[in-house]
């Protein structure tokens, strides 16, 4: 190459040695730091010693605060008083069974007023990548949305929780099946929403929702 200007070309031995050292250093860093921090895989327990596995747990934790709280029962839950919101109308319920072919994505969203609450649970027989997000009715542009929870790397086969709408608008999930076989999914919600929509490809369907009993 015209501009390569090593003082003297390195010998074969030097290149082999450098490559070997580079590989060895890479393996050490991978197993002591990268794998613990990224995936919580900690074969040498160095990740724990350095506090790196917490990084991997932190990204897990963000998405399931409920399970984390349940895992530490010895800490008494904070006593919340007067924390209810009266609503003029009864809550609604919705239950959906979906099947997603490999590569297929589907979206279900509920229209809620700011401050309205919904409890939800979904369960699938395979991992689904998903994004829990919302689109306010008043949004700066057509494509605007706010993301609440994103798992676009590994995906999950279940998720449960409660949700308080930060803004008036539609809130819900986009699920995508990135596995190579069909995934069946069941979603249950109950909350103070007034309508539900399903988006699948370019199709938009109004879902029938039930009255709370």
Partner 1 sequence: MVTGYDHLAFLVGVIFFLYRLKDIVQYVSLFTLGHSITLLAGVLGGIHANPYAIDGIIGFSVVYKALDNMDGFRRFFGFQPNTKLAVLVFGLFHGFGLATKLQELTLAQNGLVANILSFNVGVEIGQVLALTAVLIALSYWRTQSGYLRHAFATNAALMSVGFILVGYQAAGYFFSV
Using CB under 8 A, list all residues that contact partner 1: 1, 3-7, 9-12, 14-15, 18-19, 21-23, 25-27, 29-30, 34-35, 38-39, 41, 103, 105, 107, 129-131, 133, 142-143, 145, 147, 150, 152-154, 174, 176, 178-179, 199
For partner 1, the closer of residues 30 and 205 by Cβ is 30
CA atoms within 13 A on the CB side of 59: 15
Question: Cβ of residue 190: shortest distance to partner 1, in angstroms?
Answer: 24
CA distance 121 to 69: 17
Q: Which two tokens stand for residue 46?
A: 């160095």
Closest distance to partner 1 from the beta carbon of 162 (Å): 21
Q: At closest approach, how far in Å is the CB of 73 from partner 1?
A: 30
Contact between residue 119 and residue 190 where contact means Cβ atoms under 8 Å apart: yes
Using the minimum distance from each CB to partner 1, give the nearer residue, 64 or 129.
Answer: 129
**Which residues, other chains included, contact 167 with Cβ-Cβ below 8 Å and sequence gap of 6+?**
114, 134, 136, 137, 138, 146
Q: What is the pairing mode between strands 92-100 and 146-164?
A: unpaired
DSSP notation for 94-105: EEEEEEE-TT-E
The least CB distance from residue 95 to partner 1, in Å, is: 23
| Min CB(167)–partner 1 separation in Å | 16
What is the closest distance, in whole angstroms, from the C-beta atom of residue 9 to partner 1 in the complex? 5
Nearest C-alpha neighbor of 167 from the set 114, 112, 109, 118: 114
Torsion, Cα of 199, 205, 206, 208 (10° steps)? -100
94 or 135: CB nearest partner 1: 135
Rounded to whole angstroms, how far apart are CA atoms 89 and 211?
A: 10
Nearer to partner 1 among residue 54 and residue 93 (C-beta): 54
Residue with Cβ nearer partner 1 (79 or 181)? 181
Q: Which is nearer to partner 1, 94 or 131 (CB)?
A: 131
**Do 97 and 198 touch, CB atoms closer than 8 A?**
no
């Amino acid at each position: 190459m015209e501009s390569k200007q090593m003082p003297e070309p390195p010998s074969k031995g030097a290149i082999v040695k450098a490559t070997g050292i580079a590989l060895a250093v890479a393996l050490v860093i991978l197993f002591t730091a990268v794998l613990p921090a990224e995936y919580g895989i900690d074969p040498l327990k160095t990740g724990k010693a350095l506090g790196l596995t917490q990084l991997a747990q932190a990204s897990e934790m963000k998405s399931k605060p409920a399970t984390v709280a349940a895992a530490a029962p010895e800490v008494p839950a904070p006593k919340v008083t007067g924390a209810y919101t009266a609503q003029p109308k009864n809550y609604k319920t919705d239950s959906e069974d979906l099947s997603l072919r490999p590569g297929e994505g589907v979206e279900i969203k509920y229209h809620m007023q700011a401050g309205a609450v919904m409890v939800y649970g979904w369960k699938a027989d395979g991992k689904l990548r998903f994004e829990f997000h919302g689109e306010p009715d008043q949004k700066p542009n057509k494509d605007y949305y706010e993301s609440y929870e994103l798992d676009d790397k590994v995906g999950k086969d279940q998720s449960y929780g409660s949700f308080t709408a930060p803004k008036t608008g539609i809130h819900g999930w986009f699920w995508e099946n990135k596995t190579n076989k069909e995934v069946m999914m069941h979603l249950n919600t109950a909350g103070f929403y007034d309508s539900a929509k399903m988006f699948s490809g370019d199709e938009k369907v109004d879902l029938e929702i039930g009255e709370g009993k």
